[in-house]
Amino acid sequence: MKALVKAKPERGLWMQDMPIPSIGPDDVLIKIRKTAICGTDLHIYRWDEWSQKTIKTPMIIGHEYVGEIADAGANVKHKFTIGERVTGEGHIACGECRNCHRGWDHICANNYGVGVHRDGCFAEYLSIPATNVVRISEKIEDDLCSIMDPFGNATHTALSFNLLGEDVIITGAGGPIGAMCVAIAKFAGAKSVFAVEPNDYRRELAKKMGADVCVNPLKEDLQEVLKKHNLIGFDIGLECSGNGGAFNQMVTAMYNGGSIALLGILPSTSPVNWNEIIFKGLKLKGIYGREMFETWYKMEAMLLAGLDIKPVITHKFNVDDYLKGFEVMDSGNCGKVILEW
């Protein structure tokens, strides 16, 4: 089969012929239809500091996909029909640790990732444990099924707190996950959604996804924006930028007793305004992946109920043109980029 491989410890990816993966008795083999490029994949493509510490080459990368069942192991064959459409949870939990036993699989003590710690979906076939396979309603099109993983990140982030009637600020709101947070917040009944995004292209994307107010933090002062809209502070903060400065601006702009969900990974050297957090009585929640599998249920339910996240998909390429896809991702002037196999 053809596959996109991180073949060497340097910038780039390479299309190579690889063996079709074998499956164990509890696994399934998925024939891939479409994949989407994640920010994690871009980190691996760039071969940055995180990638150098995490990725062992050679490895097939990728973890966002939609495909169809091609085969199933002996213990799970009765659960699947050959040809049925599926996607999958990209975090594989051990099922044995304390967190798994109490239903917190997404923060399993022994969690490992598809396309990060084992071969991923940027290939014609993917082998994955049957417990990670997710069926999605046929009413939801393939393009959306291919981005359920990041949509799940956005859902887990946005629905961490009750949004109904609240004033919400989202930093990094023009990135794909932040933009989907915008759409979810509006769908869930937020009173207002303020999208903070320095990139012009992505700020327009946040607007398309339903943001009430779009803020360029490089040109606008957030405190002045609050005054202009007669707000004392925000009730809910969704941090999707991974930028320390953006996070501290959010903290300063929060109303006393507010809540912040942190999806963006802040640099370890980022200063944090702890006085504001403590004296305002702010609540912080770290977000990792999707709650397995309650988040998946909510994702499908929202899409079937009319939530529109299609505008977040901005580019599609045939997989043979994968370098164009990664170049667009590298530019930052895009939403989700899909590769068709």
Q: What is the CATH number of the domain that holds 12?
A: 3.90.180.10
CA separation for the pair 259, 170 (Å, rounded)? 12
Q: Do the domain assignments include residue 206?
A: yes
Q: What is the pTM of this model?
A: 0.95
CA separation for the pair 32, 27 (Å, rounded)? 15
Q: Do the domain assignments include residue 223?
A: yes
Q: Do the domain assignments include residue 238?
A: yes
Is residue 40 annotated as a catalytic residue, yes or no? yes
pLDDT tens per residue across span 1-40: 999 999 999 999 999 999 999 999 999 999 999 999 999 9
Asked if residue 60 and residue 9 are part of one domain, the reply reads yes
Final residue before a domain boundary, out of 286, 301, 326: 286
Q: Which domain holds residue 197?
A: 160-286
The answer, yes or no, to whether residue 278 has pLDDT greater than 90, is: yes
Asked if residue 221 and residue 197 are part of one domain, the reply reads yes
Asked if residue 143 and residue 164 are part of one domain, the reply reads no
| Catalytic choice (40, 155, 295, 314) | 40
Is residue 106 annotated as a catalytic residue, yes or no? no
- What tokens does 175 get? 């990135």
Average pLDDT on 109-122 reads 96
Q: Do the domain assignments include residue 336?
A: yes
Asked if residue 333 and residue 245 are part of one domain, the reply reads no
Cα torsion 224, 225, 228, 229: sign: negative
pLDDT tens per residue across span 92-105: 999 999 999 999 99
Q: What is the DSSP letter of 172?
A: T
Q: How many domains does the chain have?
A: 2
CATH number at residue 209: 3.40.50.720
Asked if residue 77 and residue 28 are part of one domain, the reply reads yes
Asked if residue 132 and residue 174 are part of one domain, the reply reads no
Exposed/middle/buried for 124, CB within 10 Å: 0-12, 13-18, 19+? Answer: middle
**H or E stretch covering 303:** helix 294-304
List residues bridging with 254 in a β-sheet.
234
CA separation for the pair 323, 312 (Å, rounded)? 20
Q: Do the domain assignments include residue 91?
A: yes
Asked if residue 254 and residue 276 are part of one domain, the reply reads yes
The answer, yes or no, to whether residue 276 has pLDDT greater than 90, is: yes
Q: Do the domain assignments include residue 153?
A: no
Asked if residue 141 and residue 19 are part of one domain, the reply reads yes
Q: What is the DSSP letter of 118?
A: B
Asked if residue 212 and residue 331 are part of one domain, the reply reads no
Residues 45, 50, 54, 56: what is their CA dihedral angle, to the nearest 10 degrees? 40
Q: Do the domain assignments include residue 139?
A: yes
Asked if residue 169 and residue 224 are part of one domain, the reply reads yes
Q: Which amino acid, residue 252? A: T
Q: Which residues contact 207 (CB under 8 A, 6 or more apart)?
A: 195, 214
Asked if residue 215 and residue 172 are part of one domain, the reply reads yes
Q: Which amino acid, residue 102? A: R
pLDDT band at 316 (very low <50, low <70, confident <90, very high): very high
pLDDT band at 268 (very low <50, low <70, confident <90, very high): confident
Q: Do the domain assignments include residue 252?
A: yes
Asked if residue 117 and residue 23 are part of one domain, the reply reads yes
| Catalytic choice (43, 63, 91, 106) | 43
